[in-house]
Amino acid sequence: MPPEITELVNSLLKDPVKVAVDPVSSPVDAIHQTVYFVDRGNKTQLLALLVEQLKVKNALVFTRTKHGANKVARELSKYGITAAAIHGNKSQTARQQALADFRAGKLQALVATDIAARGLDIEELSHVFNYNLPEVPETYVHRIGRTGRAGRGGEAIAFCDFSEKPLLREIEKLTHRSIPCLLYTSPSPRDA
């Protein structure tokens, strides 16, 4: 659980007990994980490029903030990718509509914060993108667990800028895995 939720639980309950079915540090083996080292300013460009190159059917994109979710959804639309943001500042009706559109295939990307994505169960979700690495390593496992369900494979791709490298180390420490890393450099204007 995120630290804020744990704090809230501890402030409201007396001697709470935590029950976990599956260790939080165990992502499904059917999920193929990759990390791209990328400058913060090039993340959206890389996301749009990967959605196109990998022929992504549907993707859940995680951002750290509500403002970030709105911005990424807007920017993806500029690249011709149908996208909507889903987070706590959206009305219940707007969240339900975005989710219904995503499930119906009208949206290629659903950009979400962690709290908004809790409990989302989307059948046959092909890709999860961690636009920002989470500050709590267990959250990474929860995020990528949205894909690779019911014995199906899934693709989890994370973006890591220089400031997020310590977060990546914590994720690898928790999961006892080294995630394959690639370097993305933006094409120069003359290459485009």
Tens of each residue's pLDDT in the chain, 192 residues: 667 777 777 877 788 777 765 555 556 677 899 999 999 999 999 999 999 999 999 999 999 999 999 999 999 999 999 999 999 899 989 999 999 999 999 999 999 998 766 777 788 889 999 999 999 999 998 899 888 766 677 899 999 999 999 999 999 999 999 999 999 987 755 554
Q: How far apart are CA 34 and CA 95, in angstroms?
A: 29
pLDDT of residue 120: 77
Contact indicator for 37, 160 with CB cutoff of 8 Å = yes
pLDDT of residue 189: 58
- The crossing angle, in degrees rounded to 10, of helices 66-78 and 43-53 is 50
pLDDT of residue 30: 77
pLDDT of residue 172: 95
Contact indicator for 129, 60 with CB cutoff of 8 Å = yes
pLDDT of residue 185: 84
Q: How far apart are CA 178 and CA 168, in angstroms?
A: 9
Q: How far apart are CA 30 and CA 19, in angstroms?
A: 25
DSSP string, 120-151: ---TT--EEEESS--SSHHHHHHHHTTSS-TT
Instruction: Compute CA distances 66 → 58, 84, 151, 179, whole Å.
Output: 20, 12, 32, 27
pLDDT of residue 37: 97
pLDDT of residue 35: 97
Greatest CA span in the chain, whole angstroms? 63
